[in-house]
Structure formats: structure tokens, C-alpha cells
């Protein structure tokens, strides 16, 4: 009777856990195209590509985009902090350039031209 029982155990269909384990281990690819047409005029095309596998399997086949996605890594916080710091530094440099330009204009005894006067001068030069 033990041999009949072992045959029944090995012959049973795989459970959900077994199926998921196999899919994650081997991978599953689903691909398809959906086209919507009206009077032989294609209105919409959807191309669907889906890959389901474990991270280990993905790395084996050369997929690792999640390592560099700033929304998924802690590097995003560092990059955002660096961007804020660089924007502040850029603002400081722009203010310093304006200040130096104003000081240079005062030392030479002339005013800094306004943006509108610069545009008028350029238009005259083009004519």
C-alpha cells in the first residue's frame, strides 16, 4: 500500500506554490499586440511585453534597471539633495555676477544697461 500512496503523491497536479516557484525560477514571458481600427484606419496599437521572473534570474539574463532607477533606490534622496544644493549655489553665483557687474559699471561711471535697452540696441544693429 505504501507504493500506491507514493505513486498518488507524485502523480498529483502541482500546487500554486510549485507553479510560482517554477515561474520565478525559469521566467515567464507574455507578449501580444492589440490593434483598434475603424474603417481600415488604425486608431490605436498596444504592444504588451511582460516578463515575470525572480531578481536572480533577471540578473542572469542581464536585466538590472531597478538598481539605477532613482525612484526605487536611496540614491534618489542624495541626488535630490545635491540638486537643491547646486540650485542654491547657482543662485548665489548669479547674484554675485550681477553685483560685480554693477560695481564695474559704477567704477567706470556709467549705468548698467537695462534688458529693454539691450534689446533696442540689438534691433538697431540688425537694421
Residue 69 domain-assigned (yes or no): no
Query: DSSP state, 67?
Result: G
Which residues contact residue 36 at a Cβ distance below 8 angstroms, ignoring those fewer than 6 apart? 42, 43, 44, 45
> Residues 42, 35: contact at Cβ < 8 Å?
yes
Q: What is the pTM of this model?
A: 0.37
Note whether 42 and 85 are same-domain residues. no
Note whether 14 and 57 are same-domain residues. yes
Note whether 7 and 57 are same-domain residues. yes
Structural domain for 58, as ranges = 1-63
Note whether 4 and 51 are same-domain residues. yes
Which residues contact residue 54 at a Cβ distance below 8 angstroms, ignoring those fewer than 6 apart? 24, 25
Question: DSSP letters of 14-30?
Answer: P-HHHHHHHHHHH-EEE
Residue 68 domain-assigned (yes or no): no
> Residues 92, 85: contact at Cβ < 8 Å?
no
> Could you give the number of structural domains in the chain?
2
Residue-wise pLDDT tens for the chain (127 aa)? Answer: 555 555 555 666 778 888 888 888 888 888 889 999 989 888 999 998 888 888 888 888 888 887 777 677 676 677 788 899 999 999 999 999 999 988 888 887 665 556 566 656 666 666 6
Note whether 37 and 81 are same-domain residues. no
Residue 111 domain-assigned (yes or no): yes
* Boundary residue ending a domain (63, 85, 101): 63
Amino acid at each position: 500500500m505504501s507504493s500506491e500512496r507514493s505513486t498518488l503523491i507524485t502523480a498529483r497536479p502541482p500546487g500554486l506554490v510549485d507553479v510560482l516557484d517554477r515561474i520565478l525560477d525559469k521566467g515567464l514571458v507574455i507578449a501580444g499586440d492589440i490593434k483598434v481600427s475603424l474603417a481600415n484606419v488604425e486608431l490605436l496599437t498596444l504592444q504588451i511585453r511582460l516578463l515575470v521572473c525572480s531578481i536572480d534570474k533577471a540578473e542572469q539574463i542581464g536585466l538590472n534597471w531597478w538598481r539605477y532607477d532613482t525612484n526605487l533606490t536611496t540614491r534618489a534622496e542624495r541626488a535630490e539633495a545635491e540638486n537643491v544644493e547646486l540650485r542654491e549655489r547657482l543662485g548665489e553665483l548669479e547674484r554675485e555676477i550681477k553685483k560685480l557687474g554693477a560695481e564695474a559699471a559704477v567704477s567706470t561711471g556709467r549705468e548698467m544697461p537695462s534688458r529693454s535697452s539691450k534689446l533696442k540696441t540689438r534691433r538697431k544693429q540688425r537694421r
